[in-house]
Amino acid sequence: MFFRGQTVGKYRILSPLGSGGFGSVYLAEDTWIDKKVAIKVPHRQNLDFGELVREPRLLASLSHPNIVTVLTAEKQDNVFFIVMEYVPGDTLEAVIERDGTLDLNRALDYTCQICNAMDHAHKQGIIHRDLRPGNVLVTDQGMVKVADFGTSRCLEIAAHRTPVIGSPPYLAPEQFQGKAVFASDIYSLGVTMYQMFTGVLPYDTPMPGDIEKLMKGELATPPKLKNPKLPKAISDIVMKAIAAEIPARYQRASDLLDAVLAARTPAPSTIKRPWRPAPVAAAGPSEELQEIQTRLKARETERPKFCWKCGKALPARADVCPFCSERQ
């Protein structure tokens, strides 16, 4: 749609960032304020204007540090595009492809940040419907931002039958029937967690003959079987997140977050502290203390003596006043 070096309004296109089923994303520069931004151009430009602005309107209502911020939406030369904050880094998908199984603490940290983002979206009544590693951005500092709410719907709309939208390996069973609820995003996040903890998906893209098995929860095996180092508590959390039946799953992102934090922090009774010998009481002042006392004593000066009769100062250790000859 756009090419490198092209000027679109006040934006200069620098390079393509990627392309998906719903649009292409470009790195651009806002020439008025010398700031890099990301520009998303939907593939379907012939949609009704209300449909085109649906995603930016949704994102504009989701002000959260773990969600990509929409700056504006514009139309130049009959091309509609969305201007968003530019997030330098990689997608979580690229991170997993590069590193494979992620370190436990790193994966849990990413999970918590995604949970915070989805909890905020759910509280606004918004379901993502296509939550997956390819739609999660990770900065060089480890900050996570959820992107691509292009397939999102409000709960009252998504709960009714709609076309099957999303990426099949991450879709909850009910989404294959055209339904979506908050717990559908939890399922997608559970699959993403599975992938972070093991480096692989819990199952391949379901074939038509596998849908019945997917509905019964017969396709996925516990991630601990693929990564023996994974704590059982974390493995159990993942399996609950990807439970086939909606009531068996965590219903909200906040529920999943609470479970992860509880499993991540050991109970006080299980914390092992290093053994240390009991301190031995000292029999007397230590050598160091004795040395300090000696130095202080050496610094003390004798208080001057005065004659009881004439009141004049006496020489040190004098028994008789040299001024009035009185014995002291």
Q: Where are the alpha helices (DSSP H) in the chain?
A: 49-52, 54-60, 92-99, 104-123, 155-158, 182-198, 211-216, 223-226, 232-241, 253-264, 287-299
Q: Which residues is 29 bridged to in the sheet?
A: 12, 36
The first and second tokens of residue 87, run together, are 């997030």
Q: Count the Cβ atoms, other than its own, within 10 Å of residue 161.
A: 10
- Residue 90 to residues 95, 104, 132: CA-CA distances in angstroms? 7, 19, 14
Contact, 91 vs 145, CB < 8 A? no
Whether residue 130 lies in the annotated active site? yes
Determine which helix (DSSP H) or strand (DSSP E) holds 24, and give its type and residue range.
Answer: strand 23-30
Sign of the CA dihedral 55, 130, 194, 268? positive
Q: Is 183 exposed, middle or buried (CB count within 10 Å of its CB: 0-12, 13-18, 19+)?
A: buried
Looking at 34, 109, 119, 130, which residue is catalytic? 130
Catalytic residues: 130
